[in-house]
Structure 1
Amino acid sequence: MSNLGRTTISAAVAGAMALVLAACGSAEPGGSGGGSAGPRTLKLWHYEGADSAMGAAWADAIKKFEASHPGVTVKFEEKGFEQIQKTAGMVLGSDQAPDIMEYNKGNATAGLLSKQGLLTDLSAEAAKRGWDKLLSPSLQTTARYDDRGIMGSGKWFGVPNYGEYVMVYYNKDAFAEQGVEVPTTLDEFTAAMDKFVKAGVTPLAMGGAEYPAQQVVYQLALSKAQRPWVDAFQLYKAPVDFHGPELTYGATTFADWVKKGYVSKDSAGLKAEDMGVGFISGKYPIMVSGSWWYGRMTTQVKDFEWGTFLWPGNKMSAGSSGNLWVVPERSANKDLAYDFIDITMGKDIQNKLGNAGGIPVAADPAAITDPKNKELIENFNKLSAQDGLAFYPDWPAPGYYDVMVAGVQELINGTKTPDKVLDELAGPYQENAADIGN
């Protein structure tokens, strides 16, 4: 704001202006009023790479936000997914909390923080700004959490502005060299991988030290699953048999894939980035992972033609809304955080997201021009229309991500049988079910 320290101002005017400034700079408990008078800073964290679709769209959103908010600067800090995953609870309870950040959705993450009182209730803003109209009921599942921290109902504690799902990325040139067609069934998929193994090529890029391997196990489990099983596992709507046909098939088949050479044994120590770089470099002809890689494939794959297809034979796939914008309860600039979320939900940023290789939730379909990007969005819409978004395997319980990582590493290393690994997955899940009264 302007400097009011001129000696010519009368005492009355000065007093009036002081009241105005006090009103502008006052903050309600929790910082929702907007901090002190003068230049302000919106502290923003997210973990999307600059060359990803989300990173590109949000960079534009930052520019638009600063242009529409004179005197406000966005202080953006890129954080690693694992970094936020492991430290969010501690950081958000301190004075180091950002004003707005990207956070993983689900019971184990956003749900847990909401239950701990670390996130701002966004319900009033969602209604006021129309976010509840822009997001379909299925996409709202991950935005809302009840008093137990279970997603699907209750208050809004986050806002997703994109969708995501797990698919199969493939090297078209490598497929052509081996005479492999795009598979439409799981049997055709395994037959294709057999061809690569016989040619001396490990078919699947894999990261066992982070999320990728557990998502493959989940995809296999989903090939035997129906919606009631997913709702039981994710939403605690019924007891889950960890030795039932779904998870048994997922764990035993994945272990068998390692034995058959579809997955390299050293992948137990590889991270998601290692997996992605391996595929991008042409080392592996197939990568099973999420749409969040799509933008990087578009910009970084230089030496071969590539494409994607839905997991063969499945009606359901790991997928959901994208990660959430959350506003920490200790945010000092909640009003600015709400404005920034609103900008990311606008048509121009949503169209940018779609054209950069993301899956927008509120774009103009006619504005998406690239054929590959259209296919990406159409496949997501297909899954969504057939009730095929099955969330992610690490969501149900706090700390379950690390449990899943340890389990799949044991499957890759062969240090425990699938039956024993399923016992290890069952324990923490059942403890959490008891804790929430199920």
Structure 2
Amino acid sequence: MSACEKGGQWERALALLSSMQEVGPTPNHISYSAVISACEKAAAWEPAVALLHDMLTRQLMPNGLQAGSVASSVRLASGKEPAWKLLDGLLALWLEHERPEGKLQSSWLDDDLCDSGTSEGVVRVLGHGPGVVGIFKSAGVTTEVAVHELTQHLARQKHMPKPFDLHFVSRLDHPTSGVLPLALGAVGSAAAKWLEAQFAGRLVRKEYVCLCEGPSLGLTGCQGNVSTSLHTVELDGGRASRTEVSPLGRQAFTGYEVLARYAPPPSSNPLLPSHDGEPGANVHGDKQGPEGPELMLLRVRPLTGRTHQIRVHLASIGRPLLGDLTYGAKGASLLRSCPRLFLHARRIELRDLAGKPFVIESELPHELEDVLAQLQRVAETGPEEHIAMTILAGTDSADRDKRSIVAIPTRLSTAGPLLASGDGSPESPDELDAFINHARIGEGY
């Protein structure tokens, strides 16, 4: 069954599951997960929905990953709204099962904690809603450490005998800064399942900002996407990992938009100290302009969440990120003085337990603002009319009140599929209504 899952052979996987139901052993969560995943790979939403229904009839409550996988199949076939409708029905089941009284408990966070953070400054609360809290994670700390420190910090502030239950379903890389959503609940809680389902269903909108180098990606406002499969290999006994482009890997999709273009530092500055303590070297030469390398500030929107996805995808097309010691240009970099990986999770949008939009944003950290401040913009000529857009302000100290201004064309090139605001999808399948209504009555959940 696992082999069928990896190969996307959902019909064979479903046949194996049916034989288990007839002669044993009894199917469990692992069995259903394999078949549902195979259906997702083939965008077979009808059998995927039927499998969720079958789980409920057997008193197996679907978890967040299973629900999200089915929602992803529905989204691919019929669009986002039917996928949200499916998850809304399952959320009602999770809440009823967790709290039979059916009342949505209010968040335990007080408004005055929204701007709080650990004494070390590695994490701070940006906002919260029913079942979810948004935090800022600084660069140089793992997601696990950041969440642990926050649970301890909040417990001390609330005078609780033990840490709060916070669950993360998505990570930021150790050298990456930015926003991160956490479920207000332990593993297996309704809040955790709801967050897991949204990520697995690819219904969470994520926006990053990065600075890359290499041949030009076009004028400011140009858009594109990378869709090569990625394969991650564990190293050092699982303590590290490395991702590479491979046809044997998992699907990965990254959309990008050029926010600003910068000229490489002049050759008179080749010996600027670098982030790794070694002298720099402008090995690209002085060639600039359309045929030469440049620095590009990008807005990036990954649809999937593979390990090191943005870093590997951009490196694979010859535009590695500044300050990337794993996939970057290293000694051949145009700006070796970049103090850290120039990758920041700026914005994330999902839904809280009440079904309302939950958006958290984080401005560009001052050390990355300082990098941009020392660069010179590439002059662009053309018929496009540009408008000034204020983004990514650094407000970590009182003297940082200047904001980065990037020019965005009023007439953009046609957006790629990952950046389109609408999906042009057909209406919701009627079968979803029957599934949700049937699941909520007479099945014990």
Q: TM-score under structure 1 normalisation?
A: 0.27
Higher helix share: 1
TM-score (ref. length: structure 2):
0.27
Higher RCO, 1 vs 2 (CA within 8 Å, ≥6 residues apart): 1
